[in-house]
Amino acid sequence: MEIPILKIEEFLIVSFQTELSDQEITKLTEEMLEKIKKTNAKGLIIDITALRIIDSFMARCLSSIADMATLLGARTVVVGMQPAVALTLVELGLRIKWKIQTALNLERGIALLRTVMRSEKDSVYE
Amino acid sequence: MSEDTLAVKNEYDIIKVRGFGRNLAARLGFGVVNQCRITTAISELARNIVVHGGGGFVTIKTIENDRLGIEIICRDEGPGIEDLELALQGGYSTVGGLGIGLSGARRLMDEFEIDSIRGKGTTVIIRKWL
Amino acid sequence: MTEMEELTEELSGLLENNAGELKKQWVKEMTEMRLLEKLTPVEIEQQSSAIYDTCVMTIKTGMYEAAKKYAREMAKKGVLEAMTVDQIIMGMLKLRDVYGRFIFSKYKDDVEKLYKVLGIYEPIANRILNIVALAFVEERERVIKEQQQAMLALSTPVLQIRDQILVLPLIGTIDSARAAQIVEQLLNSIVDTQASVVIIDITGVPVIDTSVANHLIKTIQAAKMLGADTLITGISPANAQTLVTLGVDLSMMTTRGTLRSGVKLADEMLKPVVVEKR
């Protein structure tokens, strides 16, 4: 499955389709990190609107991706989580371990990333 | 009354088995959120089979009491779980460890039974009722 | 073939061959007991045939599972919809009587054989009639439950008071089932309206128990996962005591005394952040 990584201004956007195999996730992760480096992207937006399930494995993957992106200088936000998935994640007990920023949609995701970037920039000057 | 048994050896089987579970759950009339809970529980247990059990089988079937329900039996002949208590508390924190899987599946479902014998294997049975 | 199998075959054969007459008898007796008042003649004919045939087929084959499935399907399709549960059960008992009397009339001259046939017939008949009656009753109950759910949904309105603010006023005692349904509805609303803040007002909830408190926490956490913040308003002194005593994780809750102050806070939260230039 070819999953495109799009660039919008200083951000990259990827849409996760449901039923990605472990191999596909690994490959996609590499591609995302490569592209962050290449384009000097400041933010990564992962659209999970189509994910009908996020199990502990996928949650860990997303977490890793966010950590790796941070090392490359990009913040990550996940957008479009389905209500059933949110509830299930809470019940799974992953709420506490979930450290990734979330937003309801692309627009809010971008706004969130910009806020985070701004506050980081400001704190550098303190 | 439906019953299917699938071999689970690799990551693709996890996806397959999830699909089966979701389909049956939907057909039985479980709502969207419960479908998600069931599918996620299956995913956790199936992954345990692949990662820790060295492969195994998953049986998905309809069950009936005074109402309908779904039952999933996950079997492997792996090394078995050393400390069940610990595993059920989500206490195995090794990387990619059993951690959330078992306790998570238990939280998501109505009924949860586990039988694990060191050196022999593990069987987990989960159920959810309409 | 064993004697039992022979007799069973003989019996079901008799019931099949005399179907026309027995059905008529059955319908006549049900009519006399006024069980079929709400059904049209066509419905009576079709539906009594369907059930009669299912029973005979099950006596013949012993396939109770199939009978159950078939009865359920009939129930779903609306067979016997016009009859009350009472009437359905009486109707099935009448069929049992009709069968029983027929068997008696056929074997009355051979008492020993009569006992044998009754010995076969009775447990089977009881089981089948039980299955069939139950299928209809259960379907009835399922429909009622569905309607109750629908009504619950209607009685839990989620109000959108601003572009990005939802208010959920909870009223009355909330049991576990209702709580679960409310959580789902609220999360769906958040996504549908893309709301950033949800205010759950519990002024109208006299008693909060552990279950409701846990659902509240779950809602707050799940909403956060989606990307929305939750405020709880209108906690009464009594409920405040309950929540603290229950050991609920209060760090999870942002609260305000009244709905009004909650809305004010929500407005504040939505103001665009003014970043000072250094």
Cross-chain residue pair C218–A102, CB shorter than 8 Å: no
Residues of chain B that touch chain C, judged by Cβ-Cβ distance less than 8 Å? 1, 31, 33, 66-67
Instruction: Tell me, rounded to whole angstroms, the distance of Cα C198 from its chain centroid.
Output: 31
Which whole number is the average pLDDT over C199-205? 92
Mean pLDDT for A2-31 is 90
Q: What is the pLDDT of residues C62-90, one digit of tens each?
A: 888 878 887 888 887 777 777 787 888 88
- Residue A28: what pLDDT? 93
Give the one of A95, A115, A119 whose C-beta lies nearest to C225's C-beta. A95
pLDDT at C153: 67
Separation between Cα atoms, residue B36 and residue B19, nearest integer Å: 11
Top-confidence residue, C41 or C197 = C197
Answer yes or no: do B37 and A91 touch at CB < 8 A: yes
Q: For C141-153, what is the mean pLDDT?
A: 77
pLDDT of residue C171: 85
Could you read off the pLDDT of B52-69 as tens digits, one per residue? 888 999 999 999 988 899
* Mean pLDDT within A67-87: 95
Q: What do you get for the CA distance between the two ends of chain A, in Å?
A: 46
- Contact at 8 Å (CB) between C202 and C233? yes
Mean pLDDT for the stretch of residues C256-276: 85
Is a pLDDT exceeding 60 seen at residue C276?
no
Nearest CA in chain B to C69: B1
Answer whether residue C186 shows pLDDT above 80. Answer: yes
What is the rounded CA–CA span in Å between residue C6 and residue C117?
10
**A20, containing H or E segment:** none
Looking at residue C268, what is its pLDDT?
92
Mean per-residue pLDDT of chain A:
90
- Which pLDDT does position A21 carry in this prediction? 87
Q: How far is CA B35 from CA A51, A85, B27, B71, in A?
A: 13, 10, 10, 13
Nearest to B11 among A22, A54, A91 (CB): A22
Residue C275 and residue A125: Cβ atoms within 8 Å?
Answer: no
Average confidence (pLDDT) over A95-114: 89
Estimate to the nearest angstrom the gap between the alpha carbon of C75 and the chain centroid: 13
User: What local confidence, expressed as pLDDT, does residue B88 receive?
Assistant: 75
- Residue C201: predicted pLDDT: 94
Length reported for chain B: 130
Of all residues in chain A, the percent with pLDDT exceeding 90 is 69
Domain ranges in chain C are: 3-150, 159-270
Q: What's the pLDDT at B15?
A: 94
- Report the percentage of chain C scoring pLDDT > 70: 96
Taking contacts as CB-CB distances below 8 angstroms, the residues of chain B near C138 are 66-67
Asked if C195 and C160 touch (Cβ cutoff 8 Å), the reply is yes
Q: CB B36 to CB A88 under 8 A?
A: yes
β-sheet with C165-171: strand ranges across? C159-160, C165-171, C197-204, C229-233, C254-256
Instruction: Pick the residue from chain A with its C-alpha nearest to C194.
Output: A104
Which residue in this structure is represented by tokens 């429909």? C143
Measure in Å the smallest separation between the Cα of A108 and chain C Cα atoms: 9
The residues of B whose Cβ lies within 8 A of any Cβ of A are 11-12, 15, 18-19, 22, 32-33, 35-37, 39-40, 43-44, 47, 90, 96, 99-101, 103-104, 107-108
pTM: 0.72
Cβ–Cβ below 8 Å for B33 and C65: no
Whether the pLDDT of residue A33 is over 90: the answer is yes
Q: Is the domain defined by C159-270 classed in CATH 3.90.110.10? A: no
Q: Torsions phi, psi of A4, nearest 5?
A: -75, 145
The stretch C161-172 carries a mean pLDDT of 92
**Which amino acid appears at position B33 of this protein?**
V
Q: Mean pLDDT across the stretch C2-7?
A: 83
Q: Which CATH class is domain C3-150?
A: mainly alpha
What dihedral do alpha carbons C155, C160, C164, C169 form, nearest 10°?
Answer: -50
pLDDT value, residue C275: 55
d(C-alpha C252, C-alpha A83), whole Å:
19
- Calculate the average pLDDT of chain C: 86
pLDDT band at A1 (very low <50, low <70, confident <90, very high): low
Average of per-residue pLDDT across C193-222: 91
CB contact under 8 A, C184 and B31: yes
Percent of chain C with pLDDT over 90: 28
Domains with residue ranges and CATH for chain B? 3-129 (3.30.565.10)
Residue-wise pLDDT for C104-118, tens only, equals: 998 889 888 888 888
How much is the pLDDT for A124?
Answer: 63
- The pLDDT, as a whole number, for residue B96 is 47
pLDDT value at residue C193: 95
Q: In this predicted model, which residue has the larger pLDDT, A67 or C172?
A: A67
Q: What is the pLDDT of residue B34?
A: 96
> How many whole angstroms separate alpha carbon C147 and alpha carbon C138?
14
- Report the SS3 class of residue C229: strand
CB contact, 8 Å: A107 with chain B? no
Q: Cβ B40–A21 below 8 Å, yes or no? A: no
Q: A90 contacts in C (CB within 8 Å)?
A: 218, 221-222, 225
- Distance (Å, rounded) from C-alpha C221 to C-alpha A96? 9
Domains in chain A (CATH in brackets) are 5-124 (3.30.750.24)
Low-confidence ranges of chain B (pLDDT < 50): 94-96
